A and B are shown apart, each in its own frame.
Chain A
Amino acid sequence: MSAFFALVGRDIRIALRQLSDTLMVIVFFVIAAALFPFGVGPEPNLLARMAPGILWVTALLAAMLSFDRLFQNDYEDGTLELLVVSPQPLWLTALAKISAHWLTTGLPLLVASPVIGIMLNLEPQGYGVLLAAMALGTAIISLVGALGAALTLGSRRSGVLLSLLVLPLVIPVLIFGAGAVDAAIGGFAATQQILLLGGLLLACLVLCPWGCAVALRMAAE
Chain B
Amino acid sequence: MDDDSLIIRYPHYMEGFTGTGLACIRSERIVFAGLGFAVSPGGALILSGPNGSGKSSLLRLMAGIAKPAAGTISWRGTELAGDPERFYTDMHYVGHRDAVKPALTVRENLAFHAALRASTGTGAADIDAALDRVGLAALADLPARMLSAGQTRRLTLARILASPAALWLLDEPTIALDTQSVERIHGAIAAHRAGGGILVASTNVPLRIEDALTIDMAAYAADGETIWGYST
| Residues in A lying within 8 Å of B, measured CB to CB | 2-3, 6-7, 10, 13-14, 17-18, 73, 76-79, 81-89, 220-221
Known A-B contacts A10-B104, A13-B108, A18-B103; the reply to A89 vs B113 at CB < 8 A is no
Partner of A13, one of B65, B98, B104, B115: B104
User: Do A2 and B115 touch (CB < 8 A)?
Assistant: yes
Docked complex Cα distance between A86 and B86 (Å): 10
Partner of A77, one of B63, B65, B66, B97: B97
Q: List 14 A-B contacts (CB under 8 A).
A: A77-B100, A77-B101, A78-B95, A78-B97, A78-B98, A78-B99, A81-B63, A81-B97, A82-B99, A85-B64, A85-B88, A87-B89, A89-B85, A221-B67
**Chain A residues within 8 Å of B91, by CB:** 85
Docked complex Cα distance between A76 and B96 (Å): 12
- Apart from A3-B118, A81-B65, A87-B89, 6 more pairs, CB < 8 Å: A7-B116, A14-B103, A76-B97, A85-B63, A89-B85, A221-B65
| Residues in B lying within 8 Å of A, measured CB to CB | 60, 63-67, 85, 88-89, 91, 93, 95-101, 103-104, 108, 111-113, 115-119
User: Do A79 and B99 touch (CB < 8 A)?
Assistant: yes
Docked complex Cα distance between A17 and B89 (Å): 31
Known A-B contacts A3-B117, A6-B116, A221-B65; the reply to A85 vs B93 at CB < 8 A is yes
**Chain A residues within 8 Å of B85, by CB:** 87, 89
**Chain B residues within 8 Å of A2, by CB:** 115, 118
**Chain A residues within 8 Å of B65, by CB:** 81, 84-85, 220-221
Partner of B116, one of A73, A86, A221: A86
Most central of B60, B89, B118 by chain A CB within 10 Å: B118
Docked complex Cα distance between A77 and B103 (Å): 13
User: Do B88 and A87 touch (CB < 8 A)?
Assistant: yes
**Chain B residues within 8 Å of A77, by CB:** 97-101
Docked complex Cα distance between A79 and B112 (Å): 11
Known A-B contacts A6-B112, A10-B104, A221-B65; the reply to A81 vs B95 at CB < 8 A is yes
Docked complex Cα distance between A3 and B113 (Å): 9
Query: Whose C-beta in chain A lies nearest to the C-beta of B169?
Result: A85
User: Do A221 and B66 touch (CB < 8 A)?
Assistant: yes
**Chain A residues within 8 Å of B115, by CB:** 2-3, 6
Most central of A10, A18, A77, A221 by chain B CB within 10 Å: A10
In angstroms, how far is the closest chain B Cβ from the Cβ of A19? 10
In angstroms, how far is the closest chain A Cβ from the Cβ of B26? 10
**Chain A residues within 8 Å of B67, by CB:** 221
Most central of B104, B108, B115, B116 by chain A CB within 10 Å: B116
Query: Whose C-beta in chain B lies nearest to the C-beta of A217?
Result: B65
**Chain B residues within 8 Å of A84, by CB:** 65
Query: Whose C-beta in chain B lies nearest to the C-beta of A5?
Result: B115
Docked complex Cα distance between A83 and B88 (Å): 10
Partner of A86, one of B66, B88, B95, B97: B88
Known A-B contacts A6-B112, A221-B67; the reply to A87 vs B95 at CB < 8 A is no
User: Do B117 and A87 touch (CB < 8 A)?
Assistant: yes
User: Do B117 and A86 touch (CB < 8 A)?
Assistant: yes
In angstroms, how far is the closest chain B Cβ from the Cβ of A216? 11
User: Do B100 and A10 touch (CB < 8 A)?
Assistant: no
User: Do A10 and B88 touch (CB < 8 A)?
Assistant: no
Known A-B contacts A87-B88, A87-B89, A221-B67; the reply to A14 vs B116 at CB < 8 A is no
In angstroms, how far is the closest chain A Cβ from the Cβ of B101? 6
Known A-B contacts A13-B108, A87-B85, A221-B67; the reply to A82 vs B116 at CB < 8 A is yes
User: Do B66 and A88 touch (CB < 8 A)?
Assistant: no
Docked complex Cα distance between A78 and B95 (Å): 7
Most central of B65, B85, B89, B96 by chain A CB within 10 Å: B65
**Chain A residues within 8 Å of B113, by CB:** 82
User: Do A88 and B101 touch (CB < 8 A)?
Assistant: no
Across chains A and B, which 7 residue pairs bring their CB atoms closest together, nearest first? A78-B97, A6-B115, A2-B118, A17-B103, A78-B99, A79-B99, A86-B116
Query: Whose C-beta in chain A lies nearest to the C-beta of B156?
Result: A78
User: Do B101 and A14 touch (CB < 8 A)?
Assistant: yes
**Chain B residues within 8 Å of A89, by CB:** 85
